[in-house]
């Protein structure tokens, strides 16, 4: 059974870090309701949901994907590019350790945010962004290449993280809103989507993706490909440069 690691949003969510967007009001109560609906979308499809200890003092703590990335039987615990987010790591470590997964750490001076990591088969695309530096990418490569993964560095200058601009469909096609992608040609198979909030999908299974409800044209395009599409409202997280991928860590058997 696949597992989902999540953490409920902090009451201080509205104070989260912003890089490319202007700050607008965030409704903490609505965010909590949206988060619960997001979690229920996985639970109703057979996922085992594991809640990591709350971190109410950490406004960005709900974005657990940035703290750890799972590669099969190895969990890489990240070192956040934003100093304000480094307090999230230890509670995430406890949740991962409880799941019985081997762990490794990105250490100073390296920085790595999980939102900069996109896995397509055994290829790992890593965004060289404002949050992930060359040393962090080199450490990740040293951990993964002996295990049979190929790490490819991708420039990211137009969005916060690589996965703010691109994700991948079940068949490995990388999708993104082209104005937000530095170089689509770096991906062997790339397909543009018509809406900014259509860039992010979570693969639920080989026929199903989960995505934001704020991209109906993109959802229709995925259905035209023969995919089942599950949509969830994540508007309050999108205001903070979040998306459907960063609200969870997916651990697959």
Residues carrying an active site annotation: 161, 246
Neighbouring C-beta atoms of residue 175, cutoff 10 Å: 26
Return the residue matching tokens 């949206």. Answer: 34
DSSP 8-state secondary structure symbol assigned to residue 88 = G
Q: SS in 3 state form for 5-20?
A: EECCCCCCHHHCCCCC
Concatenating the DSSP letter of every residue in 185-244 gives GGSSSEEE-SSGGGS-EEEEETTEEEEETT-HHHHHHHHHTT-EEEEE--HHHHTTT--T
* 249-251, strands of its sheet edge to edge: 48-51, 3-6, 249-251
Return the residue matching tokens 């508007």. Answer: 235
Using alpha carbons only, give the angle 66, 69, 72 rounded to the nearest 5 degrees. 165
How far apart are alpha carbons 141 and 161 in whole angstroms?
Answer: 18
């Amino acid at each position: 059974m696949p597992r989902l690691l999540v953490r409920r949003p902090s009451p201080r969510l509205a104070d989260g870090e912003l890089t490319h967007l202007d700050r607008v009001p965030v409704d903490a109560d609505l965010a909590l309701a949206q988060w619960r609906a997001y979690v229920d979308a996985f639970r109703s499809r057979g996922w085992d949901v594991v809640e990591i200890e709350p971190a109410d003092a950490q406004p960005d703590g709900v974005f657990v994907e940035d703290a750890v990335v799972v590669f099969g039987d190895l969990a890489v615990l990240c070192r956040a590019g934003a100093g304000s987010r480094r307090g999230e790591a230890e509670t995430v470590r406890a949740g991962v350790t409880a799941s019985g997964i081997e762990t490794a750490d990105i250490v100073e001076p390296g920085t790595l945010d999980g939102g900069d990591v996109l896995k397509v088969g055994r290829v790992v695309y890593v965004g060289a962004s404002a949050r992930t530096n060359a040393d962090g990418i080199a450490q990740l490569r040293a951990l993964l290449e002996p295990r049979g993964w190929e790490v490819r560095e991708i420039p990211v200058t137009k969005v916060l993280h690589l996965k703010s601009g691109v994700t991948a469909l079940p068949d490995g096609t990388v999708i993104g809103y082209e104005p937000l992608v530095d170089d689509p040609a770096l991906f062997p198979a790339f397909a543009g989507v018509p809406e900014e909030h259509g860039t992010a999908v979570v693969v639920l299974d080989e026929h199903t993706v989960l995505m934001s409800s704020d991209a109906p044209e993109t959802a229709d395009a995925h259905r035209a490909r023969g995919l089942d599409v599950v949509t969830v409202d994540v508007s309050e997280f999108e205001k903070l440069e979040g998306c459907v991928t960063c609200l969870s860590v997916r651990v697959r058997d």
